[in-house]
Structures are given as C-alpha cells and as structure tokens.
Structure 1
C-alpha cells in the first residue's frame, strides 16, 4: 500500500500496524508545524500571537482531519464496521466535553462519558484485531512487510 493511499483513501481495510504508522505520521506533522510556528512566532502583542495560533490550528485541522478520518474509516472497515462509527469516537466526545465544560458548573457525568467514548475509540481502532478473512470491505490486510509480489509494503497493507 502506498503512503498516499494509506493517508487519503477511504476504501478497503488496514491493520493495526498501518493505523499506528498513520497516527505517528499525523503526530510528527503536528510537532513539525508547531515547532515551525514557535520559531517564527511574532514577538508582538497578544492579538498577533493568537491570530497566528488560530490560523495554525485551522490549517492543521484542514490538513489532518481528512487523514485521520481515512485512517479511522479503513480501520473500522477492518473491524467489520461502517466508517460512520468514527463520529462516535471523535466529534461526539469533543462536542459533549465542550458542552459539559462550557457551563458555569461543569457537567461531570457528561465529561466522563466523553472520556469513555474517546477511550472506546482508541481501543477499537488501535488495539482490537480486525475480522479474520474477507469481509464486506475487502480482503484481510496482510500482517507482513512483504507483499505477494515480493515488494516491501506498509504493515497491515
């Protein structure tokens, strides 16, 4: 599996190894963007710094959310589930946490539920094995680093 296919395609299945490789790439890009932003940050007033931080955050969202969604969708396909489950693992917990903490007195049970949904997503996507054999989303991804043609591929490709 090619790197662009791993990061941007919503079709097929990927194993846990390919998923974690994609997550590592996302985290590395985030670190590099934040480092470059901190090295070029203006030393002016707070509004300038806030504007740059918000701009960087929005750029990272536009760049990395589609990658995260593609990785999660293919990982869910490997588990035999539809990609829409991804909404329960990331956007829903973030919205619940935001709603629970935006009040003068935070709604602690809602915050706990948000954390539990996030934890469920991490376990489901990163640690549980895929369905054995072929499923509705394609063949079982191989676990080795070498494909059928003898060429090196990504793990779980």
Structure 2
C-alpha cells in the first residue's frame, strides 16, 4: 500500500493511458462518495466540521492527481509545466472573470468593452482544455524511451 502511494505521488517516470484512466475512475468514485456523504451528513444535521472532513477527501484526491497528470505528460514526452496551459489557466481565469462579474462589473453585457476580449480568451481556454484532454487522455505515449524514462510496463 505504501509503495503504491509513493509511486502515485512521484513526479518521476511515465504513466500510460490505462493507468491514467484507472486513476481518473478512482478519483471520480472517491469524489462522488465524498460529495454524497457530505450532503447526506449536512442534510441530517451533522456538524459542518464533519462535512468539511468529508469534502477534504476530494481536495486530497485532486492534489494526488497532479503527479499522475505530470507522469502522463512525461509519457507523451512533455514537461509537467504543460499543466499550466492545459489545467491551471482554463480553471483559474474563468473563476477570476466570474469573480469580477459578481463584484458588479458588467462583463457579460454585450455593450461592455470587455465582452469581446473576454469571449475570445474564454474560447481560447476552451481550446486549451480540449487539447489537454486529447493530449493527456486520448493520445498514446511515446513507444521508445524519452528524457523521462523508459515506457511504462
């Protein structure tokens, strides 16, 4: 068990598509159980702290996904820094835009001077997300050894 956790949290080496999708399935199951469990606990009057612990499991699962994504990118011959355009920007920038909108800036009104630039940025981020999904989840890894190591077994 410890060996498996150490391997999962390692940023070294490569991970094939099957290993990546196994991890994604595990993450989805953990998250679903945590969300349903937290909701049921909250609905039945459990202290918010208990629900917070359950939702903390989701945070841990997501944090454990970073090394998995890095090793998957290594299998494709790419550096882990590719997570920035594939994951970080598409998730963080829309949140910032939504925050500005909630703060009272009428960004999504068509007469706003920011409407079209933000629309173009959002479309570019969508394209990056799709590219990242294809690169990480669908394309086969390099068959020969690369700078990150030999192909996974």
TM-score range, shorter chain: 0.7 to 0.9
Please say which of residues 117-126 and 96-105 is displaced more in the overlay.
96-105
The 5 Å alignment of 1:17-96 reads 17-42=18-43, 57=55, 60-61=58-59, 63-96=60-93
Which SS does the other structure have where 1:40 is aligned? helix
**1:108 is aligned to 2:119:** yes
| Gaps in structure 1 of 5+ consecutive residues | 143-157
Q: 1:122 to 1:53 in 2, by over 3 A?
A: farther
Q: Provide the rounded CA distance (Å) in 1 between the counterparts of 2:152 and 2:143.
A: 9
Report the counterpart of residue 114 of structure 2 in structure 1: none
More helix per residue: 2
How many pairs align?
136
Report the counterpart of residue 13 of structure 2 in structure 1: 12
Contact 1:8 / 1:67 at 8 angstroms: preserved in 2? yes
Report the counterpart of residue 153 of structure 1 in structure 2: none
TM-score for the superposition, normalised by structure 1: 0.74
Q: 1:30 to 1:124 in 2, by over 3 A?
A: same
Contact 2:76 / 2:140 at 8 angstroms: preserved in 1? yes
Q: Deviations over 1:41-89 (max 9, x none)?
A: 1467xxx87x88777656522x023211111100010011111111211
Report the counterpart of residue 140 of structure 1 in structure 2: 151
Which SS does the other structure have where 1:140 is aligned? coil
Q: Provide the rounded CA distance (Å) in 1 between the counterparts of 2:86 and 2:146.
A: 22
Q: Provide the rounded CA distance (Å) in 2 between the counterparts of 1:19 and 1:27.
A: 12
